Structure 1
Amino acid sequence: MEIKSFNTTSLSVYTGRGYFGRGVFAARNMSKREVILTFTGKVISLREALAKGEKEANPLQIDTNTYIDIQEPGVIVNHHCNPNAGIINTKTLIVLTDIYKGEEILYDYSTTMSENSWTMV
């Protein structure tokens, strides 16, 4: 198992392998509304994201036509339709429901973009 630790504002997380492949996991128990991490990466436009293509770009919408091309660890937080985490203030990932040590951190990708160019199977 690959493990890479990251220290964030209020807690530690690590990367590893889970049901959805590579993902981000809680290094300790976390309570509702705690900050997990802040997404970071190069600020790009929708046009730049589309030019990179779905397999190369990892856009997180932060304004009408502005995105962050997110990098680790945020880029490997996986999607789930019943997430335990969510985004506030455009780029801060917080706990929605209590997360236990070792549990994978998941958020709903559909809540991050207001255009319809990107889809998921």
Structure 2
Amino acid sequence: MDNPKAEVREHSTFGRGVFAAESILAGEAIAMFDGEFYEEGDPDYPWEVDDYVLQFAEDRWRDSKGIARVLNHSCQPNIGIRNAFRLIAMRDIAPDEELCYDYAMAEDGQWQLDCQCGSPNCRGRMAGFAALPESVRESYQGFISHWLVEKYQLDSTWSGGPVDI
């Protein structure tokens, strides 16, 4: 379920992005990863979705049927993950502001990519949760995927509530 206050627009750097069409309040649901499930090693895995899926277990990912598919990464996100698949506003968001989350809020592993988010807090590289500085991890408390909370044995307040699988 996509928030009607969010819309896909052209993005000068990334081709597309999701932007606030009007004010969005902290805690409002933005989007869901509500599509197909994929498992590592699946011979029928459609590699074209690799940039659009959300990791929710060590070897499992889920796609979206909506705008979550085109949300860009930011090292200074304004939306985060609640439970397993829901993305919510971390703070009040102004009209025309791009909606972004830090991919490390759900991803883990050895991957790394150059970051071009352009935020004042840009780390220069995108990587999994394990690579986040402790201060960044703490600032994401309540907005981290449930599976990372379990993997790293974090207090349950880190995931923001019960799992919504």
TM-score by length of 1: 0.77
2:108 equivalent in structure 1:
114
The alignment partner of 1:94 has SS state of strand
1:14 equivalent in structure 2:
7
Kept in 2, the 8 Å contact 1:18–1:104? The answer is no
TM-fit CA distance, 1:71: 4.4
Change (3 A) 1:33 1:40: same
1:19-38 deviation per Cα after TM superposition (whole angstroms, max 9, x unaligned): 43210111210111111111
More helix by share: 2
Deviates more, 1:100-109 or 1:11-20: 11-20
CA distance in 1, matches of 2:91, 2:13: 20
TM-score by length of 2: 0.58
Change (3 A) 1:75 1:100: same
CA distance in 2, matches of 1:41, 1:95: 21
Q: Please tell me the root mean square deviation across aligned C-alpha atoms, in Å.
A: 2.3
TM-fit CA distance, 1:111: 1.5
Structure 2: which 5+ residue stretches go unaligned?
A: 115-165
Structure 1: which 5+ residue stretches go unaligned?
A: 1-6
More strand by share: 1
TM-fit CA distance, 1:101: 1.4
CA distance in 1, matches of 2:66, 2:42: 19
How many equivalent pairs are there?
111
